[in-house]
Amino acid sequence: MNIDLTGRTALITGSTAGIGEATAEALAGAGADVVVNGRNADRVAEVARRLGARGIAADVGTAEGVAELVEQLPDVDVLVNNAGIFSPQPVFEIPDAEWQRFYEVNVLSGVRLGRHYAPRMARRGWGRVIFVASDSAVLIPTEMVHYGMTKTAQLALSRGMAQELAGTGVTVNSVLPGPTLTEGVREFVAGLYPDVDFAEAERRFLSNDRPTSLLRRLIRPAEVANLITYVASEQAAATTGGALRTDGGVVPTILP
Q: Are 131 and 106 in contact (CB under 8 A)?
A: no
Domains and CATH numbers, the chain: 9-179+221-245 (3.40.50.720), 181-218 (no CATH)
Burial 84-122 (b: 16+ CB within 10 A, else e): bbbeebeeeeeeeeeeeebbbbbbbbbbbbbebbbeebb
CB 228 within 8 A of CB 23: yes
**CA–CA dist 76, 121 (Å, integer):** 8
pLDDT, residue 152, reads 98
pLDDT per residue as tens digits for the range 175-216:
999 999 999 999 999 999 999 999 999 999 999 999 999 999
Overall average pLDDT of the 85-98 stretch: 97
Q: Quick one: pLDDT at residue 105?
A: 98
What is the per-residue pLDDT for 255?
84
Q: Catalytic residue at 147?
A: yes
Q: What are the φ and ψ backbone dihedral angles of 138, each rounded to 5 degrees?
A: -105, -45
| pLDDT at residue 256 tops 90 | no
Q: In DSSP terms, which residues pair with 56 in a beta bridge?
A: 37
Residue 140 banded pLDDT, cuts 50, 70, 90: very high
Q: Report DSSP state, residue 234.
A: G
Residue 8 pLDDT: 98
Phi, psi torsion values for 129, nearest 5 degrees: -120, 125
pLDDT in tens, 19-62: 999 999 999 999 999 999 999 999 999 999 999 999 999 999 99
Rounded average pLDDT over 207-234: 97
Element (H, E) at 55: strand 54-57
Q: State residue 253's pLDDT score.
A: 92
pTM of the model: 0.97
CA 97 vs CA 78, 93, 104, 150: distances in Å: 32, 11, 10, 14
The pLDDT assigned to 5 comes to 98
What's the mean pLDDT when you consider all of the chain? Answer: 97
* Catalytic residue (choose from 103, 147, 193, 230): 147
Distance CA 82, CA 84 (A): 6
The half-sphere exposure of 204 on its side-chain side, counting CA atoms within 13 A, is 15
